[in-house]
Amino acid sequence: MTRNEGVDGEGAGGPPAHAFDEHRGIRLGAPALVVLPLREERGKIVLRAPEARLAEACGLARAIALEVVHSEIVRLRSASASHLFGKGQIERLAAAAAAHDAELVVIDGVVSPIQQRNLEKDLKAKVIDRTGLILEIFGERASTREGTLQVELAHLQYQASRLVRSWTHLERQRGGFGFMGGPGESQIEMDRRLIKDRIVRLKDELEDVRRTRGLHRRQRQKAPWPVVALVGYTNAGKSTLFNRMTGADVTAEDLLFATLDPTMRSIRLPGYDKVVLSDTVGFVSDLPTQLVAAFRATLEEVTEADLIVHVRDISHPDSEAQAADVAKVLADLGMDTDRPMLTVLNKIDALEPEEAEAVTARIGDDAVAVSALTGQGVDQLREQIAVLLRAGSRVQVIRLSHGDGRRLAWLHEHGEVVGRTDDDEVTTLKVRLSDADHARFVSMA
């Protein structure tokens, strides 16, 4: 069985099947080499250890069921424009690919179309770079219509930039037969035109979906419930924490990008009858720009939440670098720097007792140490989320008719009533409310 079966062909209104050749036919369980090209740059501060980067690349490969039979770091003094690696390095990789019968070589970095073509010829195996690999994972994980459209759009934009490969079919000339192209139109020109047409249609379809999402978002903003969004590096334990807090059964596998489509559930917190908790796609270093653009509407759900909860895997050796990557993606999305955020140091149970104690001792009010797996610290997390949702509040003067019991109860539930006077017609309250809760209260009128 191969992956990507059922991709739209010409007859379905999509690009021709061969437009996807460089990603078609990745067999489940196929033996693969994973290679990290490491450029030596003097004076550059590197947060992420090369060994951890290679381990992550292997995890990405396993996320689409590839069998990693060999992995290595290849150090580059300078990258070859035509082959990326030097002659001796290519010979060594070719020997490793042959020894392990590798069908695929994953290059954890950016590979140009020319480099890809030459490497495939020299290594006698398919070659895929980091962007292509992440696109494959997203394509496999997408389950909603919006997610599927977003992934296809990102994939086609990536493919359109790489239609320079010298396969035989790209060198053919095809005469004009109506929509099949004008006289002498080459196969590559037709591929590019069909992909461009499909991209236009996908963008139109996505715009319809985004309008619906925007409508739902506005409806939620009018609802009297705060929204809390979980964000974090992929595999940090967001979905496990989401399940722990909601009692839901969202996929929480030990896989990179186990969650792709956003999930929302309501929870109760101290002082709040209902809070909407959102689990989102995990971030990763060097996230392809095509994916950030395609998933912008989905990720914008995060930036408009009342509180962002950043879940970190505190047991990971690159936890600091992962946190920096998450911050970069949020900044790229245009998130307000003053947006309330709480850091959750997850997997505290995976640390040695002395190390866990040291971590717990040095965190402040803007962080909570938890184990989503065992439940340790989750009650404290609930309390801290409630505290931050109430933070930044101000005293509002609100007048209610005597019969407005529903809104009066809501104010007692979501705010702090610090004063009350009654006359013949109205009840006047002084209530400490956050700006977000005050806006929700006004929308209830």
DSSP β-ladder status, 173-174 and 185-186: antiparallel
Average pLDDT of the residues in 151-158: 88
Binding residues for Mg(2+): 239, 259
| In contact, 353 and 240? CB cutoff 8 Å | no
Closest CA relative to residue 147, chosen from 157, 137, 160: 137
Q: Could you give the domains of the chain?
A: 10-138 (3.40.50.11060), 145-208 (no CATH), 223-390 (3.40.50.300), 394-443 (no CATH)
Binding residues for GTP: 232-239, 257-261, 279-282, 346-349, 371-373
- Residue 402 scores a pLDDT above 90: no
Q: Could you read off the pLDDT of 6-44 as tens digits, one per residue?
A: 333 333 344 433 333 344 457 878 999 999 999 876 666
Cβ count within 10 A of residue 37: 18
DSSP 17: G
220/117: higher pLDDT: 117
Binding residues: 232-239, 257-261, 279-282, 346-349, 371-373
pLDDT band at 437 (very low <50, low <70, confident <90, very high): confident
Tokens of 360: 């717990």
Average pLDDT of the residues in 290-315: 80
- The CA–CA distances, whole Å, from 430 to 131, 186, 420, 421 equal 55, 74, 6, 9
Beta bridge partners, 307, equal 228
Q: Could you tell me where the DSSP H helices lie in 391-433?
A: 405-414
Looking at residue 106, its pLDDT comes to 97
Q: Could you read off the pLDDT of 196-209 as tens digits, one per residue?
A: 899 999 999 988 88
Looking at residue 279, its pLDDT comes to 86
Beta bridge partners, 416, equal 432
